[in-house]
Each structure stands twice: as C-alpha cells, then as structure tokens.
Amino acid sequence: MPDKKSTTRRAIANFSGSLQKLLLRIAVPVCAFACTVVSALPAYSGELVRLPIRGQQTQAIFIEQPSAAPPWVIVLFAGDNGMVALDDTGPTTLRANFLLRTAEYWLSAGDALAIVDAPSDRSSGMNDEFRLSEAHAQDVHVVVAALRQSFPAAKIALVGTSRGTISIGNVLKREPRLADAYVLTSPVTIGMNGQSGLSGVHWDVNATPVLVVSNENDGCRVSPFSAARALAEDSRLQFLAVSSSERGGLRAGECGAKSPHGFLGIETQVLSAISRWLENPSSVGAPSH
C-alpha cells in the first residue's frame, strides 16, 4: 500500500486539474448574511472530483465556491451511513440531511464547500467502526491536503452532523491539527445496537477550535442534549445550546432530518452562529466546569 505522502501528492495533482475547470464556471453572487435564505433542496452547480486514496480506492467529493479566493472551505460530513451518492449534480441521497439541505448558506456567506461521500470501498455506507478507523482518517487527510493545495489562502473547517460527527471525532483523536476548526452538530454520543458512536471518547485538543452544537429538544436516543453537553465539558470544547421543537409531520423520526435533531426551523439561526464562531471562536462561550 502506498504511504500517506505519496497518496496525498497523487490526489493533489488530480484534484488541482479538476478544480481549474471549476474556477472557469464560477458565477455565483455573494449575499450578506442578512439576505441568506436556506432552501429545502438546494441546486448544486459545482464539480465532482474523485481522489485516489488507499490502493485502488477513491474518495468522491463535490466542490462548490462563490469566488476564486474564499476565506473558508467548509467540509461537510453527512449523518446516517454517510453514503450521499455523489454524481455530477451533487448529492443524490440524504438530501434532506441538515448539512446538505443548508449547504447553499456557505456559498451565500462567501465560503467554498466540499461535500464528502463514503469511499468507493464502502458502497453500502460507513458504520461507526469504519468512521473511527485509521483508514478513514487517512482518507480525510487526503481530502484536506488536496483542498489546501487548491485553496492555499483559505482556512479549512470540518463540519459533521449526527453520525458524521464520528468522522470528525476520529480526526480530532488522530490528527487534531489537520483542519483549522471543527464543528460537531447533534453528535452521536451514545452507543447502541452494536454501534459505538463517540461514547467514551475524550480529546486533548489544546488550542484547536472545536464547537459542539446541540438542540435542547433533540429526542434522538443516541444524541441527547445532556450527553452532548457532557462531551463538550469533558474535553473542554466550546458548546452552543439551541432550542426548537418543530417536526416535519407525525411520521418524522426523532433521529431524522425533519426534527429537532436536524434543527428543523432554526437552520439559519444555527448556521449563522457557527459562521460567527468560525470568525471569532470567543463568540460562543465555553461550558462551565
């Protein structure tokens, strides 16, 4: 198996060529935060890139940007099994996921975004064991290295929701300096049905900016508000508490996108707070100890 450096160099070379094509297509107007509108099903107009990772495997990412020099690249990790089935039009599954349905917010704010799919050897999706593995951390390393090569002036933020936070937690455990900031929304903190989530995980991140976001009314059994707060307190991470109770109908599951777990009805409020925190981490106070 090729070492991490050679894999990363090969990925960067391929990625840079694809991104040059994307730069020629940029024509997205930038809107101030006050006029940002979150769409339920955003229309994507970016570029699908497949990065070589482990051996013959590839890692698909979908890139969109509003300008040639965005201040941040927001790297999105969806929940559930992480299989968003990217094609040339963007995600084709899990489109209602909190991060995917609100992705256009970051473009309106002037930032680039990168949506991460499950790797090619996980065609049925990623379980918690894989999300917590060295192999997955190596894949994410390749993604970030390629993005840094193509956006040298931008900062990188890894943002996950629900089970996507397990991928973020894995990187924090193994390589906390990989990105410039990390955000875990509705983190899966309780192990259940053979899936461990982030239960029992502790990080020593020192000065690395990490924000945990949780809804007081999150009814999902694996991501309760109290456990999210405890997670932040235990590892001395910053914590943002929000509150909403909107649900998308009687059939909306407690762990689904159309529920407090998916921040239904307060999406822009949550994203605006995250955006302010990225610019100034002291804008959200750390939890008391």
- CATH code, domain carrying 252: 3.40.50.1820
Examine the pLDDT at 79 and tell me if it is beyond 50.
yes
pTM, rounded to two decimals: 0.85
Report which of residues 103 and 16 the model is more confident about. Answer: 103
Burial of 67 (C-beta count, 10 Å sphere; 0-12/13-18/19+):
middle
Percentage of the chain surpassing pLDDT 90? Answer: 72
pLDDT of residue 237: 95
* 128 within a domain of the structure (yes/no): yes
Residue type at 113? Answer: L
pLDDT of residue 262: 96
**What distance in Å separates the CA atoms of residue 23 and residue 20, rounded to the nearest whole number?**
5
Examine the pLDDT at 173 and tell me if it is beyond 70.
yes
pLDDT of residue 242: 97
* 288 within a domain of the structure (yes/no): no
* 90 phi, psi to nearest 5 deg: 105, -155
Examine the pLDDT at 249 and tell me if it is beyond 80.
no
The pLDDT mean for the chain works out to 86
pLDDT of residue 20: 45
Among 38-52, 72-86, 218-232, the minimum mean pLDDT is found in 38-52
Please, which pLDDT band fits residue 68 given cuts at 50, 70 and 90? confident
- Beta-strand ranges (E) seen in the chain are 47-52, 58-64, 72-77, 112-116, 155-161, 181-185, 210-215, 238-242
Domain of 148, in residue numbers: 4-32+46-283
Examine the pLDDT at 13 and tell me if it is beyond 80.
no
Among 10-14, 87-91, 159-163, the minimum mean pLDDT is found in 10-14
Residue type at 4? Answer: K
Examine the pLDDT at 115 and tell me if it is beyond 50.
yes
Report which of residues 115 and 1 the model is more confident about. Answer: 115
Instruction: Give the residue-averaged pLDDT of 127-135.
Output: 97
Q: Which residues contact 160 (CB under 8 A, 6 or more apart)?
A: 76, 77, 79, 99, 166, 167, 168, 183, 184, 185, 187
Count the domains in the chain: 1
- Find how far residue 217's CA is from the centre of its chain: 22
pLDDT of residue 11: 57
Q: Taking Cα atoms as reference points, which of 239, 73, 228 lies closest to residue 149?
A: 73
* 210 within a domain of the structure (yes/no): yes
Examine the pLDDT at 288 and tell me if it is beyond 70.
no
Helix %, strand %, coil % of the chain (to 5): 30, 20, 50
Strands 72-77 and 112-116: parallel
* 38 within a domain of the structure (yes/no): no
Please, which pLDDT band fits residue 45 given cuts at 50, 70 and 90? confident
Among 42-46, 148-152, 279-283, the minimum mean pLDDT is found in 42-46
263-266-272-277 Cα dihedral, nearest 10 degrees: -50
CA distances from 186 to 10, 81, 180 (A): 35, 15, 20
* 40 within a domain of the structure (yes/no): no
* 41 within a domain of the structure (yes/no): no
* 149 within a domain of the structure (yes/no): yes
Examine the pLDDT at 33 and tell me if it is beyond 50.
no
- Find how far residue 247's CA is from the centre of its chain: 23
* 154 within a domain of the structure (yes/no): yes
